[in-house]
Structure 1
Amino acid sequence: MATKINPAALQDILVFDIETVPDVAGGRRVHGIGLGDDAGVAELLQHQRRIETQGASEFLRPYLHRVVAISALWWQGDQIKLSSFGKTEDDEAALIAAFYQFIQRHAPQLVSWNGAAFDLPVLHYRALLHGISAARYWEHGEHDPSYRWNNYTSRYHERHLDLMDLLSAYQARNVARLQEVALLLGLPGKLGMSGAEVWAHYQAGKLAGIRQYCEIDVLNTTLIYLRFELTRGHLDRAGYGVRQQQLRTYLHSRDEAHVREFLTLWPENSHAAP
């Protein structure tokens, strides 16, 4: 019989998500583009990507994504905090440095949706670009033997738990979008915008809205994670209910419009709770 974790003592986890825009400056350097405004260069980069993929995608490679938001929910015992790293006006280097500094100090378990294929590779390349130190994140057992068998970058380790990767049985043909799985489970899903609109919002200077959008993705991912903990036997149904209520109580203490909207669409008797 599986051992059930005490629902009042949730493991130290950081559920995270990032939002990005095309790295216009980097694209100019990589592809030798001298002329054109930022919007035109971004469009050219996407066009080149469509050619490269024979029309399958215009989504740029990870190293050409510029990070504009990193949001996370930190859950430690009965303490919960939803926030975005840094300040709205911070540049990319400051946001990424704050993320890795948090890992350096607290060493949480990371939880993501598609983090292994996108979020973390983006952060790797961008940290490389800015020369940001992340010693604990890159630890593989050289200084701490416990990281030899459970580190952040090995695919089958759980110091970083990519829910999409695991639920798809590590098969690309089985992957699903966060939005689709959230709606399948009766969760609110994305609110107000989609990932395809982040670039337009960024150009319009709507950085606060991007951070709020990112935080909603984090909340959906957190609730999927709780359901996963139930299905793999780390929570019984009573513990699952307790943890949902802990999160709901915390969100009720927040007064932001996007959090209130999420709560409205996550009703008490939703079929999201089996």
Structure 2
Amino acid sequence: MSRSYLVFDIETIPDTSLGAKYYNLKDLSEEDIAKLMFFKQRQERQTEFLPFVFHKIVAISVLIANGEEIKVVSLGKDIHDERGMIQQFFDGISHHKPTLVSWNGKGFDMPVIYLRAMHHKIQASYYWQGDQSRDFQFNNYVNRYHERHIDVMDVLAGFQNQGRASLDHVSVLLGFPGKIGIDGSQVWKKYSEGAYQEIRDYCDTDVISTYLAMIHFQHFRGLIKTDELKKYELSLEQYLSNSKKTHMESYLDHWKK
């Protein structure tokens, strides 16, 4: 792979400040505001999954891959540093000029990032315009069918909603770990319990799985040879083994058992 890849994932919780303002709630705890937000959504849409505008980002993880060199980073100072996470994310894009890779990133992650970036008054001129690069007319980060951002889930589904598969299911299909420990539906519960690092670690493992799905997809397309695929997998194994981080070592153990 001659290109630089930036694989990313976000985790979110209800924006209880916005919920309190929108529903005119006073003197309620975060937990009670969130409960009411979920209740309202259940009444209106028969689901607790909130509209994108009511999501607040608590984790952004990225995996940066340049050939066989790999690095996984959890952005921001901590789980409360939403502005820092988003600023680092767009700064990384401007610096590395990578191909973005995600799992439902065009359908969820980026729309949420857009809204939260605007909330924090963050600018991202390179992401939107490529510093006026002519190439961006024909291959940019925003167009659903362009390859400067590869949403692996969307491509594998043939750009059809009914064809979408979960990262968990595809991971198991391809022979690497599915969800370990928690999944996205438990993030608010973990946040309420103060399990902040567990959320960031979970986000890290999702970008690792997305990276693996991506290189298998590139192999399927004929852009990576079989021996190269094995090299990239081995490089990832070595990175996880040398990370000295429990969640990455656990991922490797589940992968290789």
Taking structure 2 as the reference length, what is the TM-score of the superposition?
0.96
Q: Structure 1 stretch 73-82 or stretch 159-168: which is displaced more?
A: 73-82
Distance 1:199 1:82 in 2: 23
Q: Structure 1 pair 265/24, CA: closer, same or farther in 2 (3 Å)?
A: same
**Identity value in percent:** 39
* Pairing 1:163–2:152 present: yes
Q: Distance in 1 between matches of 2:216 and 2:90?
A: 27
Q: 2:198 aligns with which of 190, 209, 217?
A: 209
Counterpart position of 1:31: 23
CA distance in 1, matches of 2:69, 2:175: 25
User: What is the rounded CA distance, in whole Å, between the counterparts of 1:157 and 1:248 in structure 2?
Assistant: 30
- Give the deviation of 1:32 after TM superposition: 2.4
CA distance in 2, matches of 1:105, 1:31: 40
SS in 2 for 1:170: coil
Aligned equivalents of 2:81, 2:103: Cα separation in 1: 24
Aligned to 1:123: 113
Q: Secondary structure at the match of 1:151?
A: coil
For residues 92 and 80 of structure 2, the distance between their equivalents in structure 1, rounded to whole angstroms, comes to 16
Does the alignment pair 1:106 with 2:96? yes
* 1:41 aligns to 2:33 (yes or no): yes
Answer yes or no: is 1:85 the counterpart of 2:90.
no
Q: Corresponding residue for 2:11?
A: 19
CA contact (8 A) 1:10 1:75 kept: no
Select the structure that is richer in helix.
2
Q: Is the 8 A contact 1:187 1:266 kept in 2?
A: yes
Cα distance in 1 between the residues matched to 2:118 and 2:79: 22
Partner Cα distance (2:5, 2:176) in 1: 21
Residues in 2 aligned to 1:182 and 1:199: alpha-carbon distance in whole angstroms: 24
Are the equivalent residues in 1 in contact too, given 2:79–2:200 (CA < 8 A)? no
Query: What is aligned with 1:177?
Result: 166
Any idea what SS the aligned residue of 1:88 has? coil
CA deviations on 1:87-124 (whole Å, 9 max, x unpaired) are: 22552111111111111212111100000111000000
Q: CA deviation at 1:193?
A: 1.0
The one-letter code of the counterpart of 1:129 is H
Q: Spell out, residue by residue over 1:22-73, the C-alpha distance to the aligned partner (whole angstroms, 9 max, x if none).
A: 00001122232234211111111111111221x1x21011111100000011
Deviations for 1:135-182, whole angstroms, at most 9, x for unmatched residues? 11111x671111111111110011111011110011111111111111
Q: Distance in 1 between matches of 2:51 and 2:2?
A: 35
Structure 2: state its 5+ residue gaps: none
Q: CA deviation at 1:10?
A: 4.2
Q: Is the 8 A contact 2:125 2:131 kept in 1?
A: no
Q: Which residue identity lines up with residue 23 of structure 1 in the other structure?
A: D
Question: Which residue number corresponds to residue 3 of structure 1?
Answer: none
Letter in 2 for 1:79: E
Task: Give unpaired runs (5+ residues) of structure 1.
Answer: 1-8
Partners of 2:219 and 2:162 in 1: CA distance: 25
RMSD over aligned CA atoms reads 1.4
Alignment-derived partner of residue 6 in structure 1:
none
Does 1:193 pair with 2:217?
no
Give the alignment's TM-score, normalised by structure 1: 0.90
1:229-249 deviations in Å (ceiling 9; x for gaps): 110110121111111111112
- What residue in structure 1 maps to residue 235 of structure 2? 246
Q: Which moved more, 1:206-215 or 1:74-83?
A: 74-83
Kept after mapping to 1: 8 A contact 2:153/2:164:
yes
The answer to whether structure 1 residue 143 and structure 2 residue 132 are counterparts is yes
Distance 1:245 1:42, change over 3 A: same
